[in-house]
Amino acid sequence: MSEHLPDGGIELSSADLEALPARWSSCWTPSDVAQRLSGIATPWCVAAGWALDLFRGTQTREHGDIEIAIPAADFPEVRNRFPGYVFDAVSSGRIWENATPDVLAATHQTWLRDPATGDYLLDVFREAHDGATWICRHDKTIRLPYSEIIHRTPDGIPYLAPELVLLFKAKHARPKDQADFDEIVPHLTPDARTILAGLLARAHPGHHWIANL
């Protein structure tokens, strides 16, 4: 992702923002996504709130959308799995519909849209990486092998390690993020708690979660 956003795009108005939950109301589930990406070569994983539910083995709350993370260079392989749909790039309150390569290069978030209905079904994070090594977009000194950060449910759905999900949630620590932290930490292994504390100290020095780990 570059530091400068491209020209164009559509600035989301207040009405657009209010309409988004309805446009996401028919989004896919992790099982839906796993079926559509079955056999794909690129490493991918469910991220954010759904990842924490996959870690716990049960859905604990409603989810307004579903996010997956992939290496940015592998986006064409993922895109080819969804003929008939379009990907809109999203950043800083703007949407670039059916995003062109220059827009994709300048953004990291992409919403899969059904052009027939206008509904959004999947949010794809195109993450920085160095080959098989994932690079954290909040702190590029944090680099981990994909083989370590992707966990799997008993039925094979890949999801982001919970300590990394919480690392991303720490940036804003909204009420739902705090609730996720409070629910997840007791289920983390001692090693995972140590890893999370170290990552928080690097990416968010002095973060109030560190004392609870």
pLDDT at 154 over 70: yes
Backbone angles phi, psi at 32, to 5 degrees: -60, -45
For 114-150, what is each residue's pLDDT tens digit? 999 999 999 999 999 999 999 998 889 999 999 999 9
- Predicted local confidence at residue 175, as pLDDT: 92
- Predicted local confidence at residue 156, as pLDDT: 96
Its sign, for the CA torsion 76, 80, 84, 90, is negative
pLDDT at 2 over 50: no
For 22-40, what is each residue's pLDDT tens digit? 999 999 999 999 999 999 9
| C-alpha count within 13 angstroms, C-beta hemisphere, residue 164 | 23
Quick one: which of 133, 25, 39, 24 has its CA closest to 80?
39
For 58-104, what is each residue's pLDDT tens digit? 999 889 999 999 999 999 999 999 999 999 999 989 999 999 999 99
Looking at every residue in the chain, the average pLDDT score rounds to 94
The pair of three-digit structure tokens given for residue 62, joined into one six-digit string? 């409603």
- Predicted local confidence at residue 66, as pLDDT: 98
- Predicted local confidence at residue 4, as pLDDT: 73
- Predicted local confidence at residue 172, as pLDDT: 87
DSSP state of 187: G
Query: Where in the sequence of the chain do the CATH 3.30.460 domains occur?
Result: 10-160
pLDDT at 108 over 90: yes
Buried/exposed code over 149-168 (b: 16+ C-beta within 10 A; e: otherwise): bbbebeeebbbbbbbbbbbb
Contacts of the segment 21-27: beta carbons below 8 A, 24+ positions apart? 21/64, 23/118, 23/119, 23/120, 24/64, 24/65, 24/119, 24/120, 25/119, 26/117, 26/119, 26/121, 27/63, 27/64, 27/65, 27/66, 27/119, 27/120, 27/121, 27/122
* Residue 42: pLDDT band with limits 50, 70, 90: very high
Task: Give percent above pLDDT 90 in the chain.
Answer: 90
The 10 Å Cβ neighbour count of residue 139 is 13
CA distance 112 to 86: 6
Residue, of 177 and 1, whose pLDDT is higher: 177
Buried/exposed code over 11-29 (b: 16+ C-beta within 10 A; e: otherwise): ebeeeeeeeeeebbeebbe
CATH dotted code for 10-160: 3.30.460
pLDDT at 1 over 70: no
